Amino acid sequence: MRVRRILSWFAIFLLLAAAGAAPARAEEAAGRALVLAIGGEPETGYDSLMGWGSYGHPLFQSTLMVRDADLQSQPDLAQSATLSSDRLEWTVRIRTDARFSDGSPLTAQDVAFTFTKAKDAAGALDLSALDSAQALDDRTILFRLKRPAITFTEFFHTLGIVPAASYGPGYARMPIGSGPYRLVSWQEGEQLIVERNPLYYGAAPQFDRITFLFTGEDGALAAARAGAADIVAVPGLLAERVPDGYVRTAVQTVDNRGISLPTIPAGRQDGAGRPIGNDVTADLALRRAIDLAVNRDALVTVALGGQGTPAFGPADGLPWGADARARKADPQAAAALLDEAGWRMGDDGVRSRAGVRASLPLNYPAGDRTRQVLAEAVSAMLQPLGIQLTPKGGSWSAIRQVMHAEPVVFGFGSHSPFEVYSLYHSSLAGNGYMNPTYYANPSVDAHLDAAQSAASLDESYPAWRAAAFDGTTGYDARGDVAYAWLVNLKHVYFVRSCLDLGRTQIEPHGHGWPITAGLSQWRWTCP
**Least trusted range by pLDDT, from 12-16, 410-414, 418-422, 438-442:** 12-16
Number of helices (H), then strands (E), belonging to the chain: the values are 13, 26
* pLDDT number for residue 123: 61
Amino acid at 391: P
Instruction: Give yes or no for residue 28 having a pLDDT over 70.
Output: no
Mean per-residue pLDDT, 92-115: 98
Instruction: Give yes or no for residue 333 having a pLDDT over 80.
Output: yes
Question: Which run of H or of E encompasses 256?
Answer: strand 256-260
**What domains, with CATH codes, occur in the chain?**
2-44+179-253+490-524 (3.40.190.10), 61-167 (3.40.190.10), 256-488 (3.10.105.10)
Per-residue burial over 162-174, b if 16 or more Cβ lie within 10 Å, else e, is bbbeebeeebbee
What is the band of 25 on the pLDDT scale with cuts at 50, 70, 90? Answer: very low
Q: Is 154 helix (H, G, I), strand (E, B) or coil?
A: helix
The model's pTM: 0.85
CA triple 59-63-68, angle to 5 deg:
80
* pLDDT number for residue 122: 64
Sign of the dihedral defined by the CA atoms of residues 129, 485, 266, 354, in that order = negative
* pLDDT number for residue 216: 81
Query: Cα separation of 190 and 210, whole Å?
Result: 14
Q: Which of 117, 126, 36 is nearest to 414 (CA)?
A: 126
Instruction: Give yes or no for residue 418 having a pLDDT over 60.
Output: yes
Q: What is the mean pLDDT of the chain?
A: 91
Query: Cα separation of 391 and 428, whole Å?
Result: 27
Query: Cα separation of 442 and 444, whole Å?
Result: 5
DSSP 504: P
Query: Cα separation of 512 and 45, whole Å?
Result: 11
Beta strands in 129-222 (DSSP E): 130-135, 140-145, 181-187, 191-196, 209-213
**Least trusted range by pLDDT, from 121-130, 139-148, 307-316, 373-382:** 121-130
Do the beta carbons of residue 300 and residue 350 sit within 8 Å? no
* pLDDT number for residue 19: 39
Mean per-residue pLDDT, 219-229: 90
Interval 230-253: pLDDT, tens: 999 998 888 889 999 999 999 999
Residues 6+ apart with CB under 8 A from 476: 312, 313, 322, 325, 468, 469
Do the beta carbons of residue 103 and residue 163 sit within 8 Å? no
β-partners of residue 119 are: none
Sign of the dihedral defined by the CA atoms of residues 355, 340, 323, 504, in that order = negative
Mean per-residue pLDDT, 277-296: 98
DSSP 9: H
**How many other CB atoms sit within 10 Å of the CB of residue 190?**
20
Query: Cα separation of 485 and 310, whole Å?
Result: 8
Listed in sequence order, the DSSP H helices in 295-364 are 296-304, 331-340
Instruction: Give yes or no for residue 8 having a pLDDT over 70.
Output: no
DSSP 176: -
Interval 41-85: pLDDT, tens: 888 899 999 989 887 778 999 999 999 888 888 999 999 999 999
Q: Is 387 helix (H, G, I), strand (E, B) or coil?
A: coil
With 0-12 / 13-18 / 19 or more C-beta atoms within 10 angstroms meaning exposed / middle / buried, residue 32 is: middle
Q: Which of 324, 326, 387 is nearest to 358 (CA)?
A: 387
Please report how many Cα atoms fall inside a 13 Å half-sphere around the Cα of residue 353, on the Cβ side: 16
Instruction: Give yes or no for residue 3 having a pLDDT over 80.
Output: no
User: 344-345 and 351-353: which strand pairing?
Assistant: antiparallel
Instruction: Give yes or no for residue 497 having a pLDDT over 70.
Output: yes
With 0-12 / 13-18 / 19 or more C-beta atoms within 10 angstroms meaning exposed / middle / buried, residue 458 is: exposed
* pLDDT number for residue 11: 40
Widest pairwise Cα distance in the chain: 73
Interval 424-471: pLDDT, tens: 999 999 988 999 999 999 999 999 999 999 988 899 999 999 999 999
Q: Which carries the bigger pLDDT value, residue 302 or residue 31? A: 302
* pLDDT number for residue 432: 87
β-partners of residue 78 are: 94
What is the band of 31 on the pLDDT scale with cuts at 50, 70, 90? Answer: very low
* pLDDT number for residue 21: 34
For the packed helices 296-304 and 369-382, what is the interaxial angle rounded to 10 degrees?
A: 140
Interval 341-387: pLDDT, tens: 999 999 999 999 999 999 999 999 998 999 999 999 999 999 999 99
Mean per-residue pLDDT, 14-35: 48
Mean per-residue pLDDT, 312-329: 86
Do the beta carbons of residue 305 and residue 369 sit within 8 Å? no
For the packed helices 457-468 and 442-452, what is the interaxial angle rounded to 10 degrees?
A: 170
